[in-house]
A and B are shown apart, each in its own frame.
Chain A
């Protein structure tokens, strides 16, 4: 009897999870429709709003993102040097940092910083509008909340996350160079040269593809959590927290899926 109820519980959790994913996909698809299709059918984009969102998501994230990825680059250099040193291959430190930053850590760290700054803000902004009936007001004015609110954020994310990722990669390499110059007899010029030589276009592009997927994920989760906020101010806080936790989880899942995909595609 207990087994049955446990199985039922697992079943309902799975169904809920799938329903959640379904809502995210629907939301993402509708945002994509309003971004790429609707403008050609006479429903203009709110470009003005998208630009101010892009400022928020992208430009204002630069200082903190630079600092974090600089340190991450330095940490990567230290960690890889620890192992490389034993093989007398400390000059490979530039390669290790460049590849792990652009393939993995650049996109991932960028996504996490953006989740903390903007994913949470999306959920809070839309959640507050839900609580104060502003979303309902949009609907009674025959204005789609998705077109009005989600699409500018979607567009801003789609453009800014890859940009931020490139920036993060660069800062990571610079962080690594600090160690390279101090401990591995590199000059700055040679360190950068070694980094550039180590990278294939493929490494950078796979990272950027991931960052685009992360951007879609973060927007969908943040906005969905905002839109599904219940009644009452405390629900906004809950939505915001859920948006951050779910975004981090789903970004890691998306990361895994795409890393595996790239591995098998390039392997065959």
Chain B
């Protein structure tokens, strides 16, 4: 890429998109997990990152919030390339993003209130009464008013997730990340979390990025979807475009078609690496039935 094209890219990234990912590669040791990912997230948009287990979707999310260092490529968040900034600059960006972890990741030794107030106490000079008010407000937003003196261990799974969302909202972030928001929850509670995400989107025009493999929830909350498979983006588009896609891999995922069972160790190892091919040619499989 020459110099002018580079500036053009970054300029356009700054002006329209909240997040721009360019040719992102991430490796654990020698193994490359993400092989050159490109996409943009617009301001106020909800993007759902879909993918199976081991597809690299969680790695992508962890890289976007700066928990993993990319091997190469750029991630522009609010006009800064977080792949190439200092820890202090990254911390400034982190104060403007919120992340809700899969299991909630609430601190077990603190009450719900202390958990939610923690970012405020750490990063602002606000007086205790002000923090108290903000804390109540955040808990109210997620439907947990009155629970500030509970310990996380006393909460149900769904309530923990809500408390985690309240903590992610504490600093009034511009971007909110969710890792598997409905994992481990029953359908009713999971629908409640989806509803909460929709409310946040409508009330605050927040940019929201959700990683999930729950299709129902993805259809409900997404403006656009990205399907990731084996570290590559297979498809990207609006919910409608994805629904009507004819791409085999998209159809397989959206129609929930089972993968041929992996029966041999070699196949499994091959599946984990990029040069994976389906275990057996289909003709042979048909013959064996």
> Which residues in A have their C-beta under 8 angstroms from that of B90?
142
Within 8 A of B (CB), among A128-161: 129, 132-134, 136-137, 139-143
Q: CB of B79 within 8 A of chain A? A: no
**Could you tell me if A140 and B65 are in contact, using CB atoms closer than 8 angstroms?**
yes
Within 8 A of A (CB), among B40-80: 62, 65-67
**Could you tell me if A139 and B66 are in contact, using CB atoms closer than 8 angstroms?**
yes
**Could you tell me if B122 and A140 are in contact, using CB atoms closer than 8 angstroms?**
no
C-alpha gap A141/B62 in the complex (Å): 13
**Could you tell me if B99 and A140 are in contact, using CB atoms closer than 8 angstroms?**
yes
Q: How many residues of A contact B (CB 8 A)?
A: 11
Q: CB of B228 within 8 A of chain A? A: no
> Which residues in A have their C-beta under 8 angstroms from that of B94?
139-142
Closest to B93 in A: A142
Which of B97, B105, B123 meets A134, CB within 8 Å?
Answer: B105
Q: CB of B206 within 8 A of chain A? A: no
Q: CB of B81 within 8 A of chain A? A: no
**Could you tell me if B66 and A137 are in contact, using CB atoms closer than 8 angstroms?**
no
C-alpha gap A179/B212 in the complex (Å): 70
**Could you tell me if A137 and B122 are in contact, using CB atoms closer than 8 angstroms?**
no
C-alpha gap A96/B154 in the complex (Å): 55
Q: CB of B192 within 8 A of chain A? A: no
C-alpha gap A136/B66 in the complex (Å): 10
C-alpha gap A75/B67 in the complex (Å): 53
**Could you tell me if A134 and B107 are in contact, using CB atoms closer than 8 angstroms?**
yes
Closest to B115 in A: A137
> Which residues in A have their C-beta under 8 angstroms from that of B123?
142
**Could you tell me if B91 and A136 are in contact, using CB atoms closer than 8 angstroms?**
no
Q: CB of B136 within 8 A of chain A? A: no
> Which residues in A have their C-beta under 8 angstroms from that of B108?
132, 134
C-alpha gap A132/B94 in the complex (Å): 20
C-alpha gap A129/B118 in the complex (Å): 16
Q: CB of B102 within 8 A of chain A? A: yes
**Could you tell me if A137 and B91 are in contact, using CB atoms closer than 8 angstroms?**
no
Which of B92, B95, B101 meets A137, CB within 8 Å?
Answer: B101
Q: CB of B119 within 8 A of chain A? A: yes
> Which residues in A have their C-beta under 8 angstroms from that of B171?
141
Tell me whether A141 and B122 are in contact in the complex, defined as CB-CB below 8 angstroms, given that A133-B103, A133-B105 are known contacts: yes
C-alpha gap A156/B107 in the complex (Å): 21
> Which residues in B have their C-beta under 8 angstroms from that of A133?
101-103, 105
The DSSP consensus for interface residues of chain A is helix
Closest to B62 in A: A136
C-alpha gap A143/B171 in the complex (Å): 13
> Which residues in B have their C-beta under 8 angstroms from that of A143?
118-119, 122
Say how far A78's CB is from chain B's closest CB, in angstroms.
44
> Which residues in A have their C-beta under 8 angstroms from that of B67?
136, 139-140
> Which residues in B have their C-beta under 8 angstroms from that of A137?
99, 101, 105, 107, 167
Say how far A165's CB is from chain B's closest CB, in angstroms.
28
Say how far B281's CB is from chain A's closest CB, in angstroms.
35
Closest to A134 in B: B105
Tell me whether A142 and B101 are in contact in the complex, defined as CB-CB below 8 angstroms, given that A134-B107, A136-B67 are known contacts: no
> Which residues in B have their C-beta under 8 angstroms from that of A136?
62, 67, 101, 105
Say how far A214's CB is from chain B's closest CB, in angstroms.
26
Say how far A251's CB is from chain B's closest CB, in angstroms.
27
Q: Which of A132, A133, A139, A140: most chain B Cβ within 10 A?
A: A140
Within 8 A of A (CB), among B101-128: 101-103, 105-108, 118-119, 122-123
C-alpha gap A142/B66 in the complex (Å): 10
C-alpha gap A134/B118 in the complex (Å): 13
Closest to A49 in B: B109
**Could you tell me if B66 and A132 are in contact, using CB atoms closer than 8 angstroms?**
no
C-alpha gap A249/B13 in the complex (Å): 53
C-alpha gap A137/B118 in the complex (Å): 11
Report B169-195 CB contacts with A as 1/0, cut-off 8 Å: 001000000000000000000000000
**Could you tell me if B118 and A141 are in contact, using CB atoms closer than 8 angstroms?**
yes
**Could you tell me if B122 and A132 are in contact, using CB atoms closer than 8 angstroms?**
no
C-alpha gap A18/B62 in the complex (Å): 29
C-alpha gap A142/B103 in the complex (Å): 19
Tell me whether A142 and B91 are in contact in the complex, defined as CB-CB below 8 angstroms, given that A136-B67, A137-B99 are known contacts: yes
Considering the complex of A and B, which 8 residue pairs feature the smallest CB-CB distances, nearest first? Answer: A142-B91, A142-B94, A137-B105, A133-B105, A140-B99, A133-B101, A134-B105, A141-B119
Given contacts A142-B92, A142-B94, 16 further A-B contacts (CB under 8 A): A132-B108, A133-B101, A133-B103, A133-B105, A134-B105, A134-B106, A134-B107, A136-B105, A140-B97, A140-B99, A141-B118, A141-B119, A141-B122, A142-B91, A142-B95, A142-B119
Supply 5 A–B pairs (Cβ within 8 Å), ascending by A. A136-B62, A137-B99, A139-B94, A140-B97, A142-B95
